[in-house]
Chains A and B, each alone.
Chain A
Amino acid sequence: MNIREIAKAAGVSVATVSRVLNHPETVAENTKKKVQRIMEEEEYTPNWFARGLNFANTNTIGLVIPQLVDPVYSEIVKGVEDVATRKGYIIFLCDFANDQTLEKMYFEQLARRRIDGLIAVSTRAESKIFDTVTENNIPIVLVGGSSHDLGFSMVKVNYREAAADATRHLINIGYRKIAMICSDHTDPNSEEKLQGYRLALHEAGILFREEYLKIAEDKMETAYLAAKKLLEIEEPPEAMFVATDNMAIGVMDAVKDKDLKIPEDVAIVGFDNIQISKMVEPRLTTVDIPLHKLGVYGARLLFDLIESDVSEKQQIVLQTKMKIRKSCGHKERIGELF
């Protein structure tokens, strides 16, 4: 039965059935019960919800992420789940802990468990690692970019441009001695972020200085150490662009431990806009990456493939945005105020 037939059977308008589904509190109790009874009898579920309940499928999807404890990935997972549960699917969540052998093992295991689709988040895997998945005709979607051009549907942001924006923000305030604390291979987008930093310096005619670049594992502790080193060099930087908020929090600690003030002595810009960045003191200026939305679109692109809505590869690039807070440039947030 479709919505019109339900309405007819209940002797109400289509609009009333819709209200029962969307805003049941606005419908008279008797009418609501009547409509709900008919929907139950007819096992009616709105068709966009029911679409996935195909009995040939297992109604499961695989979601493989690099690091469960990193809040960046938990927000993406939440986005995927918000769409998947509404579609009647559940998720196999696998944390490969930045270990490619483990990642490959998860892909094989998931394929064996006959998942209906796979979402690989921030993968550095090469095409052949996906072979067991593709051989089983399981659709694949990449979220947050990939190190190799794999030819799958993908949702991502322009990490290079976003990192350039963060650096430009510091340049526009008037800083010239700008260091970058870049993540290592544990962050699959580190290379693009470094390119963005160098691009912004180049545009402004600022020479790239090797001693102003520190590469560290994507962790608070390692970033803390990297920042300390930077502050001990002969001509220390006045501003730092840090590749992830996670690392930036460690950097803030290092600056404070040196008895320096943020932003008066050292300005700091992070990246990602994880929840905690608006709670640390001072509030962290950062680049907002739409993490939840990356997950939401990842799931949408996957269901498009599972439901054979589209067969061709789709690519969505989402917007990033500076979030200017007290750790630098707050008084001059001309472009950001809304």
Chain B
Amino acid sequence: MKKTNYMGLQLDNPIIVAAGPWSRDGSSILRCFESGAGAVVTESIVSDAILDVRPRIAYNGSGAENIRLYSDVQIEGWEREMEIAKSGGGKVIASVSAHTPSEMAYLTAKLQKFGADAIEISISNPYMESLEVMASDAERVYRVTREVVSNVDIPVAVKLSQNTTNIMEVAKAAKDAGASAVSAINTVRAILGVDLEDRKPVLGTYGGYSGAPIRPLGLASVASIAQSVDIPISGIGGVTNYREALEYIMLGATTVQVGTTMMIEGPQAVRKIVEGVEAWCSHRGIESIDEIRGSALNNLRSFEEMKIEPAISTVGSTRCTDDCSKCMQVCLYDAISKQEGKITVDQKLCTGCGLCTFICPSRKLKLNW
């Protein structure tokens, strides 16, 4: 297994089960550990349990919207739940949500006492709060993190939101305040759709969007933080398989959290990711995740640094006889035509935009010069 040091916690592997209803109490956390995850984050714990609305989770085949809110076990009940959660010896990270520094500090100190191995402060839920979540404001993030860090001895991670102008600034504030890590990203404020007959938005209120569609947002956030702030990152957002977990790691994540995929496919999905990462690394003789962490960042340049090569689209040596004209349809510059079953690219018209190379189902088109 690919052992990982995350905020000083020695994890068996870098895959962590994210905060959510699947980790709502001690016994469900024990079940999460059966998936082989390196650690489990509890569902966000708040001062008072709030009644759940029904329905509260919607899914459209690729992404999920939820208005699940928070743990329905009161803080006092977590003394017992934490004992159960930790009875298997796994590392439990307590996710805590509150609105002021002193309240957050109070709750996190209690969870430390109950045995949590680390804290993840959740200040970025995109539902039930106004749009101005705490994580959208670097100054507020600094104050709350500072207060928590000075009240507990265990490591503290701050869960960040896409819902801010500059996530790097917020990550820097968390680091300056003494956070041991940041997690990025939380769910994204969304409306999954509208029922045309009933004229009703799905779930009837704004919710948090998760699952595969938000992965590109998560990847960009993680990469941005990794390039600008020296702090361990837990990458979150739309990981459905081991390759996507490795994408996060190559863009700088120390650990990767999985939530929606586990909700839809069950704990075995997490096990497949854990084993897939292990197998991929072993196959390439990679002994430690550290060898590949951030390895794609060198190839991530700012726009100014992009070199303009005179590349144009070319077709591979094989003739295209497929009954398909996707490349011709999408060509914005009318450079592609098909004659007698053969695709040709007009070298004068092609401007090298590259779209056809992604559209071709058999990847016959390439950019070259």
| A 326-338 binary contact with B (CB < 8 Å = 1; else 0) | 0000000001111
With A86-B76, A316-B103 known to touch, is A15 a contact of B130 (CB < 8 Å)? no
**Also in contact, A3 and B77, with CB within 8 A (given A318-B103, A335-B130):** no
A48, A292, A293, A337 — most chain B CB neighbours (10 Å): A48
**Contact: A317 with B76, CB < 8 Å?**
no
**Distance (whole angstroms) from the CB of B147 to the closest CB of chain A:** 11
Q: Are A336 and B100 in contact (CB under 8 A)?
A: no
CB of A138 closer than 8 Å to a CB of B = no
Tell me, yes or no, whether B83 is within 8 Å of chain A by CB: yes
The answer to whether A129 has its CB under 8 Å from any CB of chain B is no
B230 within 8 A of A: no
Asked if A18 and B79 make an inter-chain contact with CB atoms under 8 angstroms apart, the answer reads no
Residue of A nearest to B106 (CB): A316
> Which residues of chain B are near A36, meaning CB under 8 Å?
none
Other-chain contact of B79, A47, A86, A318, A321 (Cβ < 8 Å) = A47
Question: Closest B-chain residue to A157, C-beta based?
Answer: B100
Partner of B80, one of A18, A292, A319: A18
Cβ of A11 to closest chain B Cβ, rounded Å: 16
B80–A3 touching, CB < 8 Å: yes
Q: Which residues of chain B are within 8 angstroms of A15 by Cβ–Cβ distance? A: 26-27, 30-31, 84
Which residue of chain B has its CB nearest to the CB of A316? B102
List of B residues within 8 angstroms of A338 by Cβ: 127-131, 205-206
Cβ of A296 within 8 Å of any chain B Cβ, yes or no, is: yes
Chain A residues 259 to 306 lying within 8 A of chain B, measured CB to CB, are 292-293, 296-297, 300
Is there a chain B Cβ closer than 8 Å to A30's Cβ?
Answer: no
Q: Does A19 contact B (CB under 8 A)?
A: yes
Asked if A315 CB lies within 8 Å of chain B CBs, one says yes
- Does B117 make an interface contact (CB < 8 A)? no
Contact check: which of A4, A83, A292 meets B76 at CB < 8 Å? Answer: A83
Contact A3 B102 (CB under 8 A): no
Chain B residues with CB under 8 Å of A16's CB are 27
Write the nearest CB–CB distance from B89 to chain A, whole angstroms. Answer: 12
Of the residues A21, A87, A317, contact of B100 by C-beta under 8 Å: A317
Task: Pick the contact of B47: A22, A297, A335 (CB < 8 A).
Answer: A297
Q: Are A315 and B102 in contact (CB under 8 A)?
A: yes
Residues of B58-74 contacting chain A, CB below 8 A = 73-74
Residues of B within 8 A of A (CB): 25-27, 30-31, 47-48, 73-77, 79-81, 83-84, 87, 99-100, 102-103, 106, 113, 127-132, 205-206
A selection of 19 A-B contacts at a CB cut-off of 8 Å is A15-B26, A18-B26, A18-B81, A22-B25, A22-B27, A48-B77, A48-B79, A48-B80, A83-B76, A87-B76, A293-B47, A296-B47, A297-B47, A300-B75, A309-B113, A316-B102, A317-B102, A318-B103, A335-B131
